[in-house]
Amino acid sequence: MDGAPSPAAFTAMTLNPPLIHITEQSHGVLIALMYAAKDNFTGRAIYDHPLCFLHPHAEACLRKAIAAARGFGLQLQILDAFRPQAAQEALWAVAPNPDYIADPKKGSNHTRGVAVDLTLIGADGQALDMGTPVDTMHPASHHFHAAHSSAIQLNRMKLLTIMLEAGFLHHPREWWHYQLPDAHQYPLVDGHVFMTCVATTGGHGLATA
């Protein structure tokens, strides 16, 4: 048919559409992006905004996870989602450890918009005890770490169950990290696409200092 996109172009449009803005109001989640504040392993803010974005495929799975968490009487708190390439480079500069930080030359699934870092909040408004803070680069952060108490293991299993049933896969070394299956089939999100998404929210890009 004249004017129809080629198979390659159709695939590109499907895998790399505009990112979806995730907000507390629109999605019923809590958002506390760790790289928009100084309280992270780098000791400085990497983002200059608290704006949260995901690829539409990941956002669709996130909605399923939000509903599942609600069924447990819990709420999701998002700690990181889409991450610009420049931010990935900044993290790698501080901790070039491929066990926990994706080499920016290869690209992070966060930069593809298909990975999300998150935890669970209880009915009392407090985060469930997961045994370690986020971004703890230590075996204690690995799923099923035997030294943790049964209560911590149960909390991690709740998050794991919610996310797996929603269509995500877990990262074996990071209890907080989940991503879409076949994440590497998704292209890295172009910086222009990201800045266009940010501009529509009235935000900015990366921290300048």
Catalytic annotation, residues: 174
Q: How would you classify residue 12: left for phi > 0, otherwise alpha for psi between -120 and 50, otherwise beta?
A: alpha
Comparing CA positions, the residue from 18, 13, 3, 30 lying closest to residue 128 is: 30
Angle at 171 between CA 93 and CA 37, to 5 degrees: 45
